Structure 1
Amino acid sequence: MRLIQFAVPIVIGWVILPMVGTAQPSKPAYEWELVTANAPFAPRDGAGALTYRNRMWLLGGWNPGDRRHFPRITNNEVWSSPDGKIWSLVKPNTYLDQSFDITRDWEGRHTAGYVVHRDAMWIVGGDVNSGHYHSDVWRSTDGRSWQHVNAKKPVPWGPRALHYTVAFRDQIWVIGGQTVPQFASAKEQFYRDIWVSSDGVDWKQIQPNEPFWPQRGMIGGAAVFQDRIWILGGGTYDTANRPQRQYFNDVWSSADGVTWTCHTPKAPWAARQYHDIAVFDGKLWVLEGYSGSNRKDVWYSADGKNWTELPNTPWKPRHAASVFVHDGSLWMVAGNNMESDVWRLRKRDSRGNRPD
């Protein structure tokens, strides 16, 4: 037991000086733990991150500097882990060369749409690194075998990339995004629309009422909180006609996709894109991202308006990481730091101690 000593009050005239204590400052409510600095998968960013059947699942990713594991810049392998330390290669990369058959497997990709919906993992659309836009939707219950659910019916919301994808009220939601003509030919467009589907085949467009969020995408992860979809920041990628990227730090939510509430037009965290968002411990979370350079800050909020920064983040700055909510913890995995590190954030108990 630590003894706390106090000075004796000193009386000067009629003024009593308060006792001065030596109590230690309170510990933060949360603590990061490095689970492993070198997971067996190759470094990557933009990999899909899903929690499904009590495991974390890492899907695809991008690393143009590693042609051994990413011969075509992106790959389509799938890894899974129950604890962040032991990772298993469930599906090896088949996206190797021009002989790849797009009817049998999904093309390598990153920053696509990833959701768990109707007890399955889903990949919705993709990126532009193949020189074209992905208008495919894939489904799997084991991570190894994938069904191309819309093989006979391309999605009606293409071409687009960098969209925000959420599973909400028994539907898959595709929100925003844009075309990137310098990488894949298409008319330059920055989307401000919403599409929903229960099966990945038939899609319906929702028409939001004004006011609602400006055109954007580049939001990793997803946030469904208090029975509402939340949009936290985001931005647009530069194009020929709009050479300056846009960065946002506004916060919006909706219970139906039609009526939107702006909880704050300017949160205290820096405007950013390629960040990750999540819901953990009854709070919204915003982690890392890009705002001209990589970031390492972490913020949380119970209402979307009032935000608290979690201090002393130990991991390196990054964007397009893979963030999981799994086993009572928030997980930060890999990203544009291009390391295969795995970090776990856990809440301390009422006495400020770690749960284990």
Structure 2
Amino acid sequence: MRSRKMAGGGFIAGTGAQSPRGWVRVTPAAAFSPRDTAEGGVIFKKKMWLSNGFYHGSVLHRDLWSSSDGATWVRVLDNTPYDGYSEMVVFKGRLWAIKGSVWNSMDGVRWKCVLDKTPFGGRGYGEALVHGGKLWQLGSGPDVWSSPDGINWTCVCKAAPYGARYAAEVVSHSGRLWLMGGSTPEVNNPPEKGYAKSTTHNDVWSSADGAEWKREVEHAPWAPRQWFAAAVYRGEIWLVGGFDNVNKRNLADVWHSRDGIEWRELVSETQFSPRHEPAIFVFDGSLWVVAGNSWPLDNDVWRLECGGKPSRSAASRARGQAAREECAWSRDASRWGAMRKGFHEARAKMGFLAAPESAANVGMLLSDLTGSVIYRKDPYENWNDENRWTQNHAALWAALGQSQIPADAVWAETLSPALLGRYRALTLMGARIVTDDQAAMLRKWVNAGGVLIAGGAASLHYQGGGLRPNYLLSDLFGVNYDGNRDVSDPNKVDTYCIVRRGSMPKAVPGSSLDIVRLMVFRAVKPVASLGIYKVSDAAAAFLPGITPGTSCEYDMPLGYDKVKPGAARVLAAFANGDPALTVNKSGRGLCYFWTPVYPALCHVARDWETELKIYRFWPNVRELLAAMVKDGLAHQKAALPAEVTGVPEYVEVIVRRQPEQRRWMIHLRDHGSTPGGVKGAALAAHPPAGESVKRVFYPDTDADAAFKACEGGVTAKLRDFEEHDMVAVEW
């Protein structure tokens, strides 16, 4: 098999047409939410149409969008009436949605069901298209169906020779149907690194009538793949991206072929990120790639710029020019000056960036044993699967970051007295399994003056996963377990789980392990599920930063531990009197116990990543966590190594140390890209015991920052910055 790579600016052999110049990003973030598996490829009434889409955890977006230029997208419907993930085509002047049922529309707004149940059913990863004046459905099994009207369907082939193929791509080209790539549901041999029961292909098949099929290519030059996109553009078949199951990676390559046999790869100076399940369009003289899953999901829009003079509006041309200026930065000489400045700054900071270790004295304790035994049905399954354990900890990490609390992630399985000695405060959220050795070390650490902030269900399970009668660390917590509280009345639950199979999220009915393994849908804040707990007057001695009477919200169906206080004092309680937060003195240390099992899931977010800017915590949840850390440290006559104030919540503070140089490097990262930069930041630095600060300065310019003494350290006003800054403190 011959193949040729083609760079922008040449000619496509045999077509006489000038080749594409390269990919241009029309918009980095369209109006629709990030998604993959959105049904695209449809041009109707001089617009591109994008239907539905996949969100993390099999949540289905049921909306419908259209665009006349790729930059501005208009939501046509919030909730489409047809089956989720229906295949979209234009046929006989109407927009059609085909899956388990068949619908059509004259305008995309008003829809009519013309067939309640299709004979092929609601399969996933199939393809509907128009070929030879008929509607066709194939690519989700070995059978091939056609219909002259969308109502009467005929199975023209029960067992095509390519087998039970799914996640393939199908196009109509040169009077033939073409099926390319995809997967068959069989154990792969030789093994593929991705899904073990999915064997991917890079073959090409064609048929004139859908009944008789010919394999044109057994192994095309492009990698075997599934979840890719294909279209016919400028007289050729084009293939874009997908998932390489052999190597377990997303793809960003682009191939095209005039005859389906000889393939050429398009190499562009600018390129979209590797992704699977993008939507593809042929519109306004260009090939378009929209959204997809790059881990994370995308909502960007890319256009393949071509030679010739395709018809475009002045606004569209202006947007294309702006995108070229943005993406093809290497052609702009002024960018090199900015890069040169960046390299010089990095060189000036080199000595401050060389493998520094963390100086944080706060840690987020994670139990891998809990994640493996409790939150995965199979302890050996892939950790890439998201679950409520990872979701809660990602949110907890964001809450600490938004509170400008430098913290480390610490695995319980690596605990040692020396490691614990680095920290003055630790969170213990979601650690249902704590071993006897870990418990002994934590007791000794708290009694020596540590501050432990534990959450509901901490240390409540044996190593095998069984439920203990009481917490292993009940002596530290100062409370005893008295059962789990959640909401069983479905009328009081509007919290939903995210399920891996099926198109609808599942309501949270309780706290069984099968339920707690599921992530929680946090794109929308519930209403009926909300409960309130209030801070009591007794909190003043332990949480001076929180006003008595302060209310905090919790998602009640997620469950909380009902406890009987022993030595602990109740600092906050639910409306029914159940404790929500307690504190216990143990030796010279403190232990807070937050009875909600998933307190960090009290937020609204559009993703489960650890980027600070995507989390909106409910009132006083993040503030209560920050108070437990900061006021707990203060109660122990300790403090954070660096406290930064006067900054937006999306500014993260990271502290690194170089003991041999007797200094800290304090990084400030603005995740929110604050317009005009971050202004008015102030620093309070608390050096190691017995040390005095001698200098505060900026490593990139070696300029000093004026400082003055305060209790336990120094304070300084920091310079304004954009995106990132670093200040060094020496003693």
Q: TM-score, normalised by structure 2?
A: 0.37
Q: How many residues align?
A: 283
Q: Alpha carbon RMSD of aligned pairs, Å?
A: 2.5
- The alpha-carbon distance between structure 1 residues 341 and 271, as it changes in their structure 2 partners (threshold 3 A), is same
Matched, 1:86 2:86: no
Q: CA–CA distance in 1 between the matches of 2:230 and 2:182?
A: 10
Partner of 2:153: 203
Change (3 A) 1:91 1:349: same
**What do the CA deviations read for 1:84-114 (whole angstroms, capped 9, x no partner)?**
01111111236xxxxxxxxxx224x23x422
| Equivalent position of 1:306 in the other structure | 262
Q: Which one of 74, 82, 107 corresponds to residue 106 of structure 1?
A: 82
CA contact (8 A) 1:164 1:217 kept: no
Q: Normalized per residue, which structure has more helix?
A: 2
Q: Which amino acid aligns with 1:63?
A: Y
Partner Cα distance (1:208, 1:253) in 2:
16
For the residues of structure 1 that align with 2:8 and 2:50, how far apart are their CA atoms?
36
Q: Distance in 2 between matches of 1:192 and 1:209?
A: 5
Gap regions ≥5 residues in structure 2:
1-6, 11-18, 188-194, 310-316, 322-731
Deviations 1:254-280 (A, max 9, x none): 111122222211100001110001000
Relative distance call for 1:123 and 1:237 in structure 2 (3 A) is: farther
Alpha-carbon distance in structure 2 between the residues aligned to 1:247 and 1:193: 19
Superposed CA offset, 1:3-46 (max 9, x none): xxxxxxxxxxxxxxxxxxxxxx9835212111111111101111
Query: What secondary structure does 2:299 align onto?
Result: coil
**Equivalent residue runs for 1:133-172 within 5 Å:** 135-151=100-116, 154-158=117-121, 160-172=123-135
Aligned residue in 1 for 2:487: none
2:232 to 279, 283, 286: 279
How has the CA–CA distance of structure 1 residues 26 and 258 changed in structure 2, closer, same or farther, with 3 Å as cutoff? closer
Question: 1:348: how far off?
Answer: 2.2
1:345 is matched with which residue?
304
SS in 2 for 1:158: coil
CA distance in 1, matches of 2:230, 2:241: 9
CA contact (8 A) 1:209 1:259 kept: no
Q: d(CA) in 1 for partners of 2:8 and 2:292?
A: 31
1:213 Cα deviation from its structure 2 partner: 2.0
Q: Relative to structure 1, is the Cα distance of residues 287 and 26 closer, same or farther in structure 2, using a 3 angstrom cutoff?
A: closer
Among 124, 144, 148, which residue is 1:194 paired with? 144
What is the aligned counterpart of 1:270 among 223, 226, 243?
A: 223
Cα offsets for 1:181-207 (capped at 9, x unmatched): xxxxxxxxxx21111112222211113
Cα deviation for residue 164 of structure 1 reads: 2.2
Is 2:278 aligned against 1:321? yes
Amino acid of the structure 2 residue aligned with 1:36: T
**What SS class does the counterpart of residue 223 from structure 1 fall into?**
strand
Q: Do the aligned partners of residues 35 and 176 (structure 1) sit closer, same or farther apart at CA in structure 2, a change above 3 Å counting?
A: closer
2:96 equivalent to 1:122: yes
Q: Distance in 2 between matches of 1:45 and 1:229?
A: 25
Aligned to 1:332: 289
Match of 1:130 in 2: none
Match of 2:173? Answer: 225
Look up the match of 2:62: 76
Which protein has greater RCO, CA pairs closer than 8 Å, 6+ apart? Answer: 1
Q: Which residue of 1 aligns with 2:25?
A: 34
Please report how far the alpha carbon of residue 52 of structure 1 lies from its aligned counterpart in structure 2 after TM superposition: 1.2
Question: Cα distance, 1:322 vs. partner?
Answer: 0.7
Aligned-residue offset at 1:158:
2.4
In the other structure, the counterpart of 1:63 is 55
Q: Could you say if the C-alpha distance between residues 301 and 73 of structure 1 is closer, same or farther in structure 2, counting changes exceeding 3 Å?
A: same
**What TM-score comes out, normalization by structure 1 length?**
0.74
Aligned with 1:199: secondary structure? coil
Matched-pair identity in %:
36
CA shift, 1:176, in A, is 3.6
Check whether the contact 1:209–1:260 (CA below 8 A) recurs between aligned residues: no
Q: Deviations over 1:228-269 (max 9, x none)?
A: 111111113579xx9520111111111111222222111000
Unaligned runs of 5+ in 1: 1-24, 66-71, 95-104, 126-134, 178-190
Q: Secondary structure at the match of 1:230?
A: strand
Q: Distance in 2 between matches of 1:316 and 1:176?
A: 26
C-alpha distance in 2, partners of 1:343/1:115?
21
Structure-2 change in CA distance of 1:140 and 1:237 (3 Å)? farther
| Greater mean deviation of Cα atoms: 112-121 or 270-279 | 112-121
Q: List per-residue Cα deviations over 1:288-317 (Å, max 9, x = no partner).
A: 001122110000011111110011451101
Who wins on radius of gyration, i.e. which is larger? 2
Say whether the 8 Å CA contact 2:200–2:225 is kept in structure 1: yes
Aligned residue for 2:293, secondary structure, equals: coil
Q: Do residues 296 (structure 1) and 252 (structure 2) align?
A: yes
What is the alpha-carbon distance in structure 2 between the residues aligned to residue 27 and residue 323 of structure 1? 22
Which whole-Å CA distance do the structure 2 matches of 1:156 and 1:331 have between them? 33
